[in-house]
Amino acid sequence: MTRLAASCLLLLALGQTVHAEDARAFRMGFTPFPYDITPEAVTDTREFLRGNADIIAFHMESVPWTEALTGEPFRDGLLGDWEYKRDIMPADAKTYVAVSPGRDGLGNYWGDGENQPVPPEFLGKPFDHPDVKTAYANYCRRVVEYFEPDFLAIGIEVNEIYPKGAEKWAAYLALHRHVYAELKAEHPDLPVFASFTLHNMLDWQGVPEDATIAAFDELMPTNDAVAVSFYPFIGGLSSRVDESFAWMTGHYDALSKPYVITETGEGAEELVFPSTGQVIANTPEMQEAYYERLFALAQERAFPFVISFLYRDYDALWDKIKDTSPEFFMAWRDCGLLDETGAARPAREVWRTYFDRPLSGER
């Protein structure tokens, strides 16, 4: 009996070891970005997320500047959007919320709808104006109160501000530091950060953009994570994914902060911009290879989460909005794990291979 008991304990230990090795070390999710503006597309998106994600990203770039400053109730349009977002959450999923004060001066206003003009009382004010700092900090507080997020970005792809001018970057830094300090005093356990675009830290040959990198490094003491947005095809880096990740870890490992992929995607079809003839020459195989590399790194380094911005190509949506939208909005059209018909690409199988693994209890 003693020998039998010992054998059983050994088998149990081996089973636990195998389970630990097989466990997924990172959460996987999407934004609820629909492929079309129809009730069917919205329903499809909600159902796909509920079956294929254990973290959901809410990406919000307009700001209710006036109400955030005065403390008045937010408009019904904003609250309706927030209610929809909260209701879409899968059971037991975590929440990542990303907000932004703007990328080239103050972002648009969110009143009855998004992307409205900046209110007159905020026009021309820099990021570090007292009213802006107060309003944006108040807005972030109300976001936290409503969504109770597990992760919060208070800036989206903010390294793109630096090329707009040193004065604008300095003003943004002051705003970021102010809001970070306010939120951490009230929510010390909430991870708060701003993201950067990896594809803009390196040029088309994979050479580091030293000035932009140095500027973003100024922000890192008030960033709880190395928060990365990466679309390899935008920077011509689809053939340099391994080099890009090697630079990222080589530069930031010394900080001993977790890596989070706040948004990502890779093209799966050749895309031609009509006005310029510029070609993005991607294939399903390139997309598959990208996700294999990304997930292997996320597993090895135990990233807290990876967000793939789109789950399905938005050809149907683009056909409806292209006449009133900037042409570059089509750049991400073919980044879905499903194509425009809903057919799965090879990268979808890569996703499921990882997602079907049990999530580590630490996540």
Instruction: Indicate the domain borders of the chain.
Output: 28-266+290-312
Quote the tokens at residue 324: 């009133």
Sign of CA dihedral 343, 346, 348, 353: positive
Q: State pTM to two decimals.
A: 0.92
For 325-350, b/e burial (b = at least 16 CB within 10 A) is: eeeeebbbbbbbbbbbeeeebbbbeb
Of 280, 250, 282, nearest to 242 by C-alpha is: 250
Cα→Cα distances 53→83, 323, 352, Å: 19, 33, 10
Neighbour-count burial for 139-167, b at 16+ CB within 10 Å, e otherwise: bbbbbbeebebbbbbbbbbbbebbeeeee
Domain at 28-266+290-312: CATH code: 3.20.20.80
- Would you place residue 1 in the very low, low, confident or very high pLDDT band (cuts 50, 70, 90)? very low
Residue type, 152: L
Once rounded to an integer, what is the mean pLDDT over residues 236-261?
96
Give the torsion sign (CA, 224, 225, 231, 237): positive
For 189-210, what is each residue's pLDDT tens digit? 999 999 999 999 987 666 778 9
Phi and psi at 79, nearest 5°, equal: -65, -35
Average pLDDT over residues 37-62: 97
Yes or no: say if 232 and 199 are a contact pair by the CB < 8 Å rule. yes
Percent of the chain, pLDDT > 90? 88
> What mean pLDDT value characterizes the chain?
93
